[in-house]
Amino acid sequence: MNNNIDAAVDMLKKAQDMLKDASVDMNKSKSLFKLAELGIYVERFCADNFLQKRDLCLLAGISSTTLTNTLKNPEKASMSTVLSIGEIVGFELLIGRKND
C-alpha cells in the first residue's frame, strides 16, 4: 500500500516539474513590450485586422477620447482601460520592476 502511495507522489512531483518547465518555456516565448509602446501594438493590430480605432473603442467599451489619451500617455491611463484594450488586442498585462 505504501509503495502505491509513494509511486503516486513521485508521479505527481514529476507532473509538477513538467508543468513548471512548460510554463517557463511559454514565458520565454512571449514577446514583452513596455507600456509606452502600446500605441505601436494597437496600430499594428488595427492594420492587421482591418479595423479602425473607433471599432477598437466599441469592442473595448471605451470612448475614442479615452483611447487617444491612453495612446498618448499610457502610463497615466487607468488599469481598467489598459486591460480593456489588451483584451481586444490580445495581450496580457505583466507588472514588473523598472530596469534603468
Between CA 54 and CA 3 the distance in angstroms is: 63
Cα angle for residues 64, 90, 28 (degrees, 5° grid): 140
The CATH number assigned to the domain with range 35-89 reads: 1.10.260
Kindly write down the DSSP assignment for every residue of 22-65, as one continuous string. Answer: HHHHHHHHS----GGGHHHHHHHHHHHTT--HHHHHHHHT--HH
Task: State residue 25's pLDDT score.
Answer: 58
Whether the predicted pLDDT of 92 surpasses 90: no
Task: State residue 29's pLDDT score.
Answer: 53
Whether the predicted pLDDT of 27 surpasses 60: no
Q: What is the mean pLDDT of residues 7-19?
A: 74
Whether the predicted pLDDT of 22 surpasses 70: no
List the domain boundaries for the chain. Answer: 1-30, 35-89
Residue 27 half-sphere exposure, CB side, CA atoms within 13 Å?
A: 8
